[in-house]
């Protein structure tokens, strides 16, 4: 039996249709359109592309986006002042600070300055702590999107051995906590883990989130495992992820394609959480 393709692109499109209805209802109820503010510091082309994609997603569901562009020489104090301005703007329901920012900026301080009620990208320490303790908070978008994708495909998580390869603040660490909250037994590995293959071979669910092209080999995956690849690295013929996916359909029980798996769910989660923030503000 061939593996189930966890099609994030198709699911995101379906969710956008539902979000469009919720946005329309909000506009009718309040007379106000939900707004996501995106902050882009500097001129990194990849970051500019991601911000543009997020703005397009807002348009597709009927939301507005405010695009704040700041020069590469911006200081921490200047960025904090802009975040404070957006925090105090009642028309703004969500704030996204595009990662990474220029090296002279204290990115963590700026993330943590975002009002928890507007932290729709799930980047604050307080939000991470609340999520970890199963309290109300917006989850970091990529891992939250992965959990949503697994649930929509009825992937059983409770009692499973999950291995997360990666430990970043916005992907690996929150991913591990979310899986733990779904009653998985979780192991966190990373680029310096010794004998990585041994950990992966025992995984019922494997999440590649390490940022190294095809670090995790296909022959490490045990039969019927669920394979989630959160990486993307452009190549001449499209791109690859953190997991070697060639032949994976004959081994895994379910897997995310690259591209078209995790990526669309990341942006979709950002939009969904902004709509939720607007609904809470209106209640």
Q: Is residue 33 a contact partner of residue 63, using CB atoms and an 8 Å limit?
A: yes
> Which residues, including other chains, have CB under 8 Å from residue 172's CB and lie 6 or more apart?
164, 165, 166, 188, 190, 209, 210
- Residue 10 near residue 256, CB atoms below 8 Å: no
Q: What pLDDT does 233 receive?
A: 93
CATH number of 30-116: 3.40.50.10860
Maximal CA-CA distance, the chain: 57
Condensed to tens digits (0 to 9), the pLDDT of residues 211-222 reads 999 999 999 999
Give me the half-sphere count of Cα atoms (radius 13 Å) on the Cβ side of residue 163.
24
Q: Which tokens belong to 171?
A: 């992907």
Which one is the CATH code of 141-263: 3.90.1150.10, 3.20.20.10, 3.40.50.720, 3.30.110.30? Answer: 3.40.50.720
DSSP label at 250? G
- Count of helix runs (H) and strand runs (E) in the chain: 9, 11
Residues, the chain, total? 283
Domain ranges of the chain: 30-116, 141-263
What phi and psi values does residue 188 have, to the nearest 5 degrees?
Answer: -105, 120
pLDDT of 17 reads 97
Residue 235 buriedness (CB in 10 A; 0-12 / 13-18 / 19+): exposed
Kindly give the pairing relationship between strand 94-97 and strand 161-165: unpaired
| Catalytic annotation, residues | 54, 98, 121
Could you report the per-residue pLDDT of 34-70, keeping only the tens digit for each? 999 999 999 999 899 999 999 999 999 999 999 999 9
| Sign of the C-alpha dihedral computed for residues 39, 44, 48 and 50 taken in this order | negative
Q: Which segments of the chain have a pLDDT < 50?
A: none
């Amino acid at each position: 039996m061939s593996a189930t393709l966890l099609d994030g692109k198709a699911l995101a499109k379906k969710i956008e249709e539902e979000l469009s209805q919720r946005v329309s209802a909000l506009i009718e109820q309040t007379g106000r359109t939900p707004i996501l503010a995106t902050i882009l510091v500097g001129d990194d082309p990849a970051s500019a592309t991601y911000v543009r994609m997020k703005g397009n997603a807002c348009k597709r569901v009927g939301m507005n986006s405010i695009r704040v562009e700041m020069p590469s020489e911006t200081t921490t104090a200047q960025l904090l002042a802009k975040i404070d301005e957006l925090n105090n703007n009642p028309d703004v329901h969500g704030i996204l600070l595009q990662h990474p920012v220029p090296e002279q900026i204290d990115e963590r301080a700026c993330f943590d300055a975002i009002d928890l009620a507007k932290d729709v990208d799930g980047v604050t320490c307080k939000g991470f702590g609340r999520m970890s303790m199963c309290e109300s908070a917006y989850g970091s978008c990529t891992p939250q999107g992965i959990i949503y994708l697994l649930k929509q495909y009825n992937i059983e998580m409770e009692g499973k051995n999950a291995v997360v390869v990666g430990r970043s603040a916005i992907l690996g660490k929150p991913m591990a906590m979310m899986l733990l909250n779904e009653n998985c037994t979780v192991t966190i590995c990373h680029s310096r883990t010794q004998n990585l293959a041994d950990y992966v071979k025992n995984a019922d669910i494997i999440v590649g989130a390490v940022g190294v092209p095809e670090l995790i080999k296909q022959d490490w995956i045990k039969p019927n495992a669920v394979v989630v690849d959160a990486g993307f690295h452009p190549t001449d013929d499209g791109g690859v992820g953190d997991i070697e996916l060639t032949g994976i359909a004959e081994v895994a029980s379910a897997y995310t394609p690259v591209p078209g798996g995790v990526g669309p769910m990341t942006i979709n989660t950002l939009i969904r959480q902004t709509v939720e923030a607007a609904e809470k503000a209106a209640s």
